[in-house]
Chains A and B, each alone.
Chain A
Amino acid sequence: MHRESDIRLPLILGDKTYHQITEDVCRPIENQAPRGWYILISIAALIALYGVGCILYLIGEGIGTWGLNNTVDWAWDITNFVWWVGIGHAGTLISAVLLLFRQKWRMAVNRSAEAMTIFAVIMAATFPGIHMGRIWVSYWVLPLPNQFGSLWVNFNSPLLWDVFAISTYFSVSLVFWYIGLIPDFATIRDRMTKPLTKKIYGIMSFGWSGRAKHWNRFEIVSLVLAGIATPLVFSVHSIVSFDFATSVIPGWHTTIFPPYFVAGAVFSGFAMVQTLMLIVRKVMKLEAYIHTKHIEYMNIVIMVTGSIVGVAYLTELFMAWYSGVEYESYAFLNRATGPYWWAYASMMTCNVISPQLMWFKKLRTSLIFTFIISIVVNIGMWFERFVIIVTSLHRGHLPSTWSMFYPTWVDIGVFLGTIGIFSVLYLLYARYFPVLAISEVKTILKSSGQNYKEGFGAGEGYYNEDGSHGHGHDDNAHVSASVQEEPTTNRIVEKKAEDLSEEDFSKNQSTLLERVGSADASEADDLKLISGVGPVLEKTLNSIGIYTFGQVSKMTSEEYNLLDSLAKSFPGRAERDNWASQAKDLMNK
């Protein structure tokens, strides 16, 4: 077992057991979906339907329904394509690159990030597909023997490289994702009681039984797939950037594009992961697995890649001036001060300034702030692609051809539609698939900060673990408000405070019991139902003489102080979590 830090927040909060991990992940699948899910999927489906309508209209009418013109002959579609591919970068990066680096925190987010990747790449692939105009001959991009004589696709063209890169990336990511899903589907299969769902999950689990040899193979397959997916991740967006970089258009013709695009892709991908995970953890009550530390790690990735992107922007500007090529200089001057200055300004604000705020620990550990920034970054990254593509084209070498690009309603409808389809797919995924890699998370359970839980964070129930949530039993008590808080307690595990003399202790104890009323073990309530109270803390309270909700509900700040003096191991916690009002609620249940 590896050495663990005594003071670092563990990856899994609370004293979870293997069974609880299974329960926590399977609960949303087995229970009725909340009404919010139906509302969300209906809205998403409507938008998706509108998008599909726009696509069908486009295919019926032709590309003329888009806002493209002779000068700007490549705009909205390729912007959206690159945007979606970029978003699709985080998933495999998290599961492959972070696996190679043995970053165990990835296990909390890899499954969902990979799902996001797959859906995002499907959305991306839509755009070149429909841009072909005649989508029914899209197989022409493949080198197939054909009746047109010896007519092969052009292997020298970056556009064809892209076909290979995207399809390889998509299929490898899909396989990687599914191989990880098989054992988890087996877990769900073995828990299901309804014959039909059991059958469906049985088919999807491929008859997985968890044999030692199979796990042996599983691990090596994961490792090797991660090993070959890592260069794949970097190659895909490099190749996407070649679509531009190998051309001779000022503004596109730069060698900085591949690293700059890859950094941008990781940047936007992680932002999208943040957006989705912040919702998922809340709605599915997975705060114990995806907590502030995970969010912070991802924010640091956003900060680093955002800085790389920022440096790349500035390098481009510098090179445009330093190269002395007036066309190149004009392209960049036009970006910043031309008619599309607002797009450039949005891009600069969202992508260069906003990630720099992550240097502040307070901000990068704030969930609301993270959520806002993640959306800002995604908007910024969309504008980046728009700026690169449209502003480089709309004013070329010949001023008489200068023109502007305005999207039509079909352009906008198709883009909104892909967001709708993506949301539908993601909502379906979140409802029916295990959003956490159950089997992988179980492997880190034992190495998940035992030192911390027994030492620095011990005794005060820093995360409320009541072990009471089972099927259909959801009392919200196990979602502690304290999850997101950094522990502030001292390293005191003793049940009794040392610095209080025996006499003072009993005096304080009797004062406290006088005020809240005394009770004995026979009338004890399950104090663990109070958010913030775990089994250890319950015992401490019992040893003082507090057994019932009634006693707890009578506490005010004075009693809290007395309590703190008696049981030093959780200073301020009772007050912070407002036990009294919680207990009142529980009494009235």
Chain B
Amino acid sequence: MADKIIYAMYDDDDKLMDGAKMLVSKGIHVNEVFSPMPIHGIDDVIGVRHTRLGIAAFLYGLTGLMLATLAMKYFMIDDWNMNIGGKPSFTYLENLPAFIPITFEFTVLCAAHGMSITYLLRNKTLPGMPATNPDPRTTDDRFVMEVRASENTKYSAEEIHNMIQSTDIVELDVKTVK
């Protein structure tokens, strides 16, 4: 299906924010915003849901905690019960204090790396991936809003175009996708 993608470019994050608020209040769905830095509050305006990566990090950390506990129980208590300085370790609990540092480190290790890997995968940002920002200046000082005609059937492409034009834009680009 033919679709029209309108890229509205702003030279300021606040101007984009005002523009987005105006468009959203008219019922237009802003598909995406490209910016050189995080714009605080834009997520709520254009309806980007809050990320659940924090929860993921917690779960990864929990995994690390359990793995470290199980592994050290196996290594030090079950498989080969080391007798160090005449102080044997009969149970895991008895020896627990000595295991805390590594348990902590391993928890952090798993949480941090698990979260980072998930982050990169979810973003689809991996070495060699192509850049998808519509204009190279969006990583410098331009802020671009992407609106798709197919997602806003309430208005005609013309109407959307005019509405965007009435905001404080510096450039407007329309791309037709077949």
Contacts and interface: CB of A to CB of B under 8 A. Distances in A.
A210 B139 contact: yes
B24 interface: no
B124 A207 contact: yes
Contact of B126 (A165, A206, A232): A206
Contacts of A232: 105, 108
B141 A17 contact: yes
A156 B84 contact: yes
A175 interface: yes
Contacts of B99: 155
A207 B39 contact: no
B86 interface: no
A451 interface: no
B124 A225 contact: no
Contact of A164 (B102, B119, B130): B102
A154 B84 contact: yes
A176 B113 CA distance: 10
B122 A217 contact: yes
A172 B112 contact: yes
A143 B75 contact: yes
A175 B112 contact: yes
A14 to B, nearest CB: 16
The size class of the interface chain A forms with chain B is: 35 or more
Contact of A155 (B40, B102, B123): B102
Contacts of B102: 155, 160-161, 164
Nearest to B109: A168
Interface in A204-223: 204-221, 223
A152 B140 contact: no
28 contacts: A143-B71, A152-B82, A155-B102, A156-B95, A161-B105, A164-B101, A165-B105, A172-B109, A175-B112, A182-B125, A183-B139, A206-B129, A207-B125, A208-B131, A209-B131, A211-B32, A213-B43, A213-B51, A214-B125, A219-B38, A220-B51, A221-B53, A221-B116, A224-B115, A228-B112, A229-B108, A231-B108, A443-B37
Interface stretch (A186-194, A329-337, A363-371): A186-194
A483 to B, nearest CB: 23
A156 B82 contact: yes
Interface in A265-279: none
Given A22-B140, A207-B132, 6 more contacts: A156-B98, A186-B139, A213-B123, A215-B39, A218-B38, A232-B105
Contacts of B112: 171-172, 175-176, 225, 228-229
Interface of A: 17-19, 22, 143, 150-156, 158, 160-161, 164-165, 168, 171-172, 175-176, 179, 182-183, 186-187, 189-191, 202-221, 223-225, 228-229, 231-232, 235, 239, 242, 438-440, 442-443, 446
B137 A150 contact: no
Contacts of A155: 72, 75-76, 98-99, 102
B24 to A, nearest CB: 13
B17 to A, nearest CB: 11
Interface in B2-61: 13-14, 32-40, 42-43, 46, 48, 50-51, 53-54, 57, 61
A211 B139 CA distance: 10
B133 interface: yes
A338 B58 CA distance: 52
Contact of A206 (B35, B61, B125): B125
Given A190-B140, A207-B132, A217 B33 contact: no
A382 to B, nearest CB: 26
B111 to A, nearest CB: 6
A209 B125 CA distance: 9
Pairs A-B, 7 closest by C-beta atoms: A207-B129, A18-B141, A190-B136, A206-B125, A215-B38, A209-B133, A19-B141
A140 to B, nearest CB: 14
A150 B78 CA distance: 10
Given A152-B76, A161-B102, A168 B133 contact: no
B158 interface: no
B174 interface: no
B115 A168 contact: no
Contacts of A216: 38, 43, 48, 50-51
